């Protein structure tokens, strides 16, 4: 699975730098000199240099040496492969790609479905597709999701009465 880590904006200066709208929680690692990023349309790009500029990063890539080449990259999405991202060291913290695809069951073992997405609003919420294709929303908190086992591909949900029936 490919994960978005940034989006290239306008060219900056005449030496090939571009402004990057960062979309990762670890920009220091993803945008380090020498890092190789996948893209949605320009092949892979290797970072030559990075510097902070207000709320964005200014990035220069090895293969981009002038403003014209930098302008051609405008709008390109920068990606990494989820297999290249190490799991977090905190056993209670997960990357979205680790949760998506997990099979969800109740504490009694009843099938709920498969985690289809993770929403990040006021509360992290798992979007679980049941076998009929309907979506079940489960707040991702320990009292409701007491067990997550990424190795076995499953998580356990302890729903209060009616939670799994909402929206049906």
The CATH number for 6's domain is 2.40.30.60
Task: Map tokens 């709008």 to a residue.
Answer: 75
Distance CA 109, CA 128 (A): 16
pLDDT of res. 127 = 95
Q: Are residues 79 and 6 in the same domain?
A: yes
Q: Which of 62, 70, 54 is nearest to 22 (CA)?
A: 54
- Residue 167 confidence (pLDDT): 60
Its domain, for residue 124, covers 96-165
Final residue belonging to a domain, choices 29, 55, 84: 84
> Is residue 91 situated within a structural domain?
no
List average pLDDT for each run of 10 residues in the chain, which is 168 residues long. Answer: 90 95 88 95 92 91 95 95 78 86 96 93 92 92 95 95 78
| Domain count within the chain | 2
Q: So what's the pLDDT on residue 148? A: 95
Residues 76 and 105 in one domain: no
In degrees rounded to 5, what are phi and psi of residue 48? -90, -40
Instruction: Check whether residue 78 and residue 106 sit in a common domain.
Output: no
Is the domain of 32 the same as that of 62? yes
Contact 3/43 with Cβ under 8 angstroms?
no
Among the three residues 58, 84, 110, which one is the final residue of a domain in this structure?
Answer: 84
Angle at 79 between CA 99 and CA 113, to 5 degrees: 20
In 3-state terms, what secondary structure has residue 33? coil
Residue 148 falls within a domain, yes or no?
A: yes
């Amino acid at each position: 699975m490919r994960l978005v880590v940034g989006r290239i904006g306008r060219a900056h200066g005449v030496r090939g730098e571009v402004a990057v709208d960062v979309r990762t929680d670890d920009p220091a690692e993803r945008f380090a000199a020498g890092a190789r990023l996948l893209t949605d349309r320009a092949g892979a790009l290797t970072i030559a240099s990075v510097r902070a500029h207000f709320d964005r990063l200014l990035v220069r890539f090895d293969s981009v040496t002038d403003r014209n080449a930098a302008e051609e990259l405008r709008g390109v999405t920068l990606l990494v492969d989820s297999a290249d991202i190490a799991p977090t060291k905190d056993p209670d913290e997960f990357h979205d790609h680790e949760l998506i695809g997990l099979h969800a069951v109740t504490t009694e073992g009843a099938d709920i479905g498969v985690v289809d997405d993770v929403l990040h609003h006021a509360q992290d919420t798992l979007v679980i597709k049941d076998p009929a294709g309907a979506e079940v929303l489960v707040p991702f908190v320990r009292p409701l999701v007491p067990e997550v086992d990424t190795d076995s591909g499953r998580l356990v949900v302890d729903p209060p009465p009616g939670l799994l029936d909402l929206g049906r």
